[in-house]
Amino acid sequence: MAVTETTVKDACAAAKHAAVDLARADTTTKDRALERIAELLEERTDEIGEANAADLADERAQGLSTALRDRLTLTAERIAGIADGVRAVLALSDPVGELIEERTLDSGLELRKLRVPLGVVAVVYEARPNVTIDCAALCIKSGNAIVLRGSSYAQRSNAALAGIVAEGLEAAGLPADGVQLIAGGREDLAELATQEGVVDLVIPRGGEGLKDALKAVATVPVMYAAAGNCHVYVHSDADLEMARQVAYNAKVDRPGVCNSAETLLVNADVAAKLLPKLLGELHGAGVELVGDERARSVAGATPVGEASDSDWDTEYLDLKMVVGVVDSLDEAVEHVNRHGTGHSEAIITSSGDSADAFTGGVDAAAVYVNASTRFTDGFVFGMGAEIGNSTQKLHARGPIGMRELTTTKYVLTGNGQVR
Compute the least distance from the CB of residue 57 to a second copy, in Å: 38
What is the x/- site pattern for a second copy, positions 375-394, by CB under 8 A?
Answer: xx---xxx---------xxx
Is there binding between residue 416 and a second copy (CB under 8 A)? yes
Based on CB atoms, which residue is closest to a second copy, 235 or 296? Answer: 235
Is there binding between residue 408 and a second copy (CB under 8 A)? yes
Contact 141, 30 (CB under 8 A): yes
If one counts every other C-beta atom within 10 angstroms of the C-beta of residue 382, the result is: 8
Question: Among 223, 213, 220, 289, which residue's Cα sits nearest to residue 251?
Answer: 289
What crossing angle do the helices spanning 27-43 and 45-57 adopt, rounded to 10°?
70
Based on CB atoms, which residue is closest to a second copy, 75 or 413? Answer: 413
Compute the least distance from the CB of residue 81 to a second copy, in Å: 20
Is there binding between residue 316 and a second copy (CB under 8 A)? no
Is there binding between residue 368 and a second copy (CB under 8 A)? yes
Say if strands 398-399 and 389-390 run parallel, antiparallel, or are unpaired. antiparallel
Residue from the set 68, 190, 272, 369 that interacts with a second copy by CB under 8 A: 369
Is there binding between residue 209 and a second copy (CB under 8 A)? no
Question: Among 276, 315, 274, 311, which residue's Cα sits nearest to residue 291?
Answer: 311
Is there binding between residue 118 and a second copy (CB under 8 A)? yes
Is there binding between residue 249 and a second copy (CB under 8 A)? yes
Compute the least distance from the CB of residue 286 to a second copy, in Å: 18
Greatest C-alpha distance within the chain: 81
Is there binding between residue 201 and a second copy (CB under 8 A)? yes
Contact 142, 117 (CB under 8 A): yes
Residue from the set 8, 367, 400, 402 that interacts with a second copy by CB under 8 A: 367
H or E element at residue 245: helix 240-252
| SS3 assignment, position 11 | helix
Say if strands 179-182 and 145-149 run parallel, antiparallel, or are unpaired. parallel
Q: CA 7 from chain center: how many Å?
A: 28
Is there binding between residue 186 and a second copy (CB under 8 A)? no
What crossing angle do the helices spanning 27-43 and 76-91 adopt, rounded to 10°?
170
Please give the residues from 220 up to 239 whose contact with a second copy meets the rule CB under 8 A.
221, 223, 239
Kindly report the backbone phi and psi dihedral angles of residue 244, in degrees, each rounded to the nearest multiple of 5, phi listed first.
-60, -45
Based on CB atoms, which residue is closest to a second copy, 73 or 407? Answer: 407
Residue from the set 366, 387, 400, 402 that interacts with a second copy by CB under 8 A: 366
Is there binding between residue 107 and a second copy (CB under 8 A)? yes
Is there binding between residue 24 and a second copy (CB under 8 A)? yes
Is there binding between residue 91 and a second copy (CB under 8 A)? no
Tell me how far apart the alpha carbons of residues 285 and 174 are, in angstroms, rounded to a whole number. Answer: 52
Tell me how far apart the alpha carbons of residues 383 and 29 are, in angstroms, rounded to a whole number. Answer: 22
Residues touching a second copy, count (CB under 8 A): 66
Based on CB atoms, which residue is closest to a second copy, 301 or 418? Answer: 418
Is there binding between residue 328 and a second copy (CB under 8 A)? no
Tell me how far apart the alpha carbons of residues 350 and 358 are, in angstroms, rounded to a whole number. Answer: 12
Q: Residue 396 burial (CB < 10 Å; 0-12/13-18/19+)? A: buried
Binding site for a second copy (CB under 8 A): 20, 23-24, 103, 105-107, 109, 111, 118-119, 200-201, 215, 219, 221, 223, 239, 242, 245-246, 248-250, 253-254, 337, 355, 359-361, 363-372, 374-376, 380-382, 392-395, 397-398, 407-419
